[in-house]
Structure 1
Amino acid sequence: MFDEPEAVDLALARWEVATLTGRLRCVEDERDAAVRDRDRNRDLVLALLRSRPYRLGRTLVDLARDPVRNGPSIAGRAARRLRRQAAIQSLPRPRAASVPARVYVAVGLSRAGSHELIRALRQRVLVDADHLPVVVTDQPALRGLQVPGVVLEYLPDPQTWSRHEPQARWESLLAGRIAQLCRDHRAVRTVVIDPRDPPTLARLLDNAA
């Protein structure tokens, strides 16, 4: 794919920038979603405070206050408990925890190198299923391949893309796809693979953190 080592280094630098750009877009989207969730939860609480059951509960608490002093404390605790339960039930339920994803940008690898990488990632999750590998590849031999425990995302290689879409930069395509994959799979890390030296199983295990 490349004739000179300098060309590989330059391409890797561009891919790393595009990958980082995509990851940052995903982080920004997550931040905006968190703000929307905060605002929605605040609106739910305000709506609860204005609701008829809440006002009725406050009225019952006020009516329960009499000279005996026993009724008010019991009624007050019950009313507060009911209000707390209603507030909790009104809030959206958190999503169940799942294994985080890690996006591997494996562009420019040979057919044999691509298959070796997929095999190593498959073995990696069999040894320690601490994440879901999501592999972005431009290797046609992997297109449509189903690998248990590994997600494969095919992109046309930069040369093919430039021939069909000469006005659109391939790095922009990569950044957009990375952002989408990070959103879809809640990826916590991105890794750009050097096509000259794809990682082995041993190196994948060493870089588990």
Structure 2
Amino acid sequence: MRSTSRSLLVVGAIAAAVVVSAMPAQAQVATASRVVLAAGHVDVVDVEYEDGALEIGVHDETVEPGVEREPDDVLFKVKREAQTTVPADPAFGFLGAAGVPVWILPEAQNESLLWPGLSTEELEAGVFSGDTVTLTLVRVVGPGQLAVFTEDAVGQPNVLVDSGDGTPDAIGLSVGDHLHANWAFDQPGTYTVKVKATARLVASGQRISSETVNLRFAVKP
């Protein structure tokens, strides 16, 4: 379990190198300015509410114990092993034409790949209207499109985000929850995904918003 008294960990190059030395090279490496996460569980969006403000961090569980990182300190690596092809099922047409390449970080854990989650586990019930916060994908900057989707028991997709049909896109997240989904990129290259969280306070009716943060993904061809 994570401590409820966490604060965002500002990771410089020296601190990152110390953390990385305890991890397998394939799971995490350090660059001059960012920690590169390539395999294992990480909440790419971890929403918290502290001192009257919503915050978005990255909860990194590729290390033990897990740590909270600033989004700007992290690069998420989508390895070559994530490459697959778009299914022939027309329901997956939002990913592109059947048979073309697509790079997917899967909803179900694959130990060779990054397993990205969305977390509101630190948010308490009764604080926000409807006990929900809204995660908005503001914009995707990169060589291609991003789709985030889940699959039902029979393998049919439920699309949460599709930058291919325009942004912003919004995802409603229940407080105290944790969500995994498929993150699909249709071209290799580097992507910047801009996201923010919003909610309405029960006590005052005030609508509050986090700062917009940048999630960076590097998709390997």
> Which TM bucket (shorter chain)?
under 0.3
* More helix per residue: 1
TM-score (norm 1): 0.20
TM-score (norm 2): 0.20
* More strand per residue: 2
Larger relative contact order (C-alpha < 8 A, sep ≥ 6)? Answer: 1
Q: Which has the larger radius of gyration?
A: 1
